[in-house]
Amino acid sequence: MSRPEIEIRDLHKSFGDNHVLRGIDLEIAQGEVVCVIGPSGSGKSTLLRCVNLLEEPTKGQVVVGGTELTDPDVDIDAVRRRIGMVFQQFNLFPHLTVTENLTLPQRRVLRRDRAQAAKVAAENLERVGLTEKASAYPSSLSGGQQQRVAIARALAMGPEVMLFDEPTSALDPELVGDVLAVMRMLAQDGMTMMVVTHEMTFAREVADRVIFMDGGVIVEDGSPEQVITNPQHERTRHFLSRLL
């Protein structure tokens, strides 16, 4: 078997005396799509944030693409370029057009020239179906369109891994489908993805694996069929029953 794209070993994270992650072990293969589910406060966002070092682990190892992020000598910026992240709130730059939102990080972080950044921006706007919004400002877009711009912005950096933290939770229900369709396309294109979501239909249809977290540990880890349809643990069953 080839090397996993993401390896997490005995990961712990505390905020003061709040011990949030209590020993997470997880391997994610290249091209695998893993949905992370679990109650509010169980540590899902903290786990994702430890995978791109938005949070510094208290203990344990995180390895992405063979680079140990938790090595004190690691070039964090170089690693972060390989990991795209999409948040519940889209975090677009409001004073920049859609194209400028996509070109600015490429130019600043990757040092691409104007023409190359614009070309990559156009390619990725096309991927998310928003070519016609290239010159628009974020405030003129729907929430679903803004989130697709945020995804295109992350993709324009050429990441090896994409992390999604409840990307559809802030959207009106009728806008959720377009964002999920873009994520489904990415999954089919072979992107390695970790997706925190409450969208069980998406998890069932798109995820290779589903992880149920509770109290800072992984309670259940298996295929969607195993975890969603036939959960083995009472805590998983209880959580799922409340979603329905």
Least distance from Mg ion to the Cβ atom of residue 196, Å? 6
Residue 31: what are its φ and ψ, rounded to 5°? 80, 0
**Nearer to ligand ADP (CB atom), residue 138 or residue 167:** 167
Least distance from ligand ADP to the Cβ atom of residue 53, Å? 13
**Rounded to an integer, what distance in angstroms lies between the CA atom of residue 121 and that of residue 20?**
38
Q: Which of the stretches 41-49, 64-72, 99-107, 141-149 binds ligand ADP when contact is defined by CB under 6 A?
A: 41-49
Q: Is 56 in the site for ligand ADP (CB under 6 A)?
A: no
Cβ distance 195 to 182 under 8 Å? no
Q: Which amino acid appears at position 207 of this protein?
A: A
Least distance from Mg ion to the Cβ atom of residue 139, Å? 25
Q: Where are the alpha helices (DSSP H) in the chain?
A: 44-51, 76-81, 98-110, 114-127, 143-155, 173-188, 200-206, 224, 234-243
Specify whether the backbone of 190 is left (phi greater than 0), alpha (psi in -120 to 50) or beta: left
Q: Is 42 in the site for ligand ADP (CB under 6 A)?
A: yes
Total residues in contact with Mg ion, by rule CB under 5 A: 2
**Nearer to ligand ADP (CB atom), residue 31 or residue 41:** 41
Q: Is 18 in the site for ligand ADP (CB under 6 A)?
A: yes
**Nearer to ligand ADP (CB atom), residue 39 or residue 177:** 39
Cβ distance 224 to 237 under 8 Å? no
Q: Which of the stretches 15-23, 63-71, 84-92, 123-131 binds ligand ADP when contact is defined by CB under 6 A?
A: 15-23
The mark string for 38-57 relative to Mg ion (x by CB under 5 A, - otherwise) is ------xx------------
Specify whether the backbone of 40 is left (phi greater than 0), alpha (psi in -120 to 50) or beta: beta
**Residue 2 partner contact from Mg ion, ligand ADP, none using kind-dependent CB cut-offs of 5 to 8 Å:** none
**Rounded to an integer, what distance in angstroms lies between the CA atom of residue 73 and that of residue 53?**
13
Binding residues for ligand ADP (CB under 6 A): 15, 18, 20, 38, 40-46
Binding residues for Mg ion (CB under 5 A): 44-45
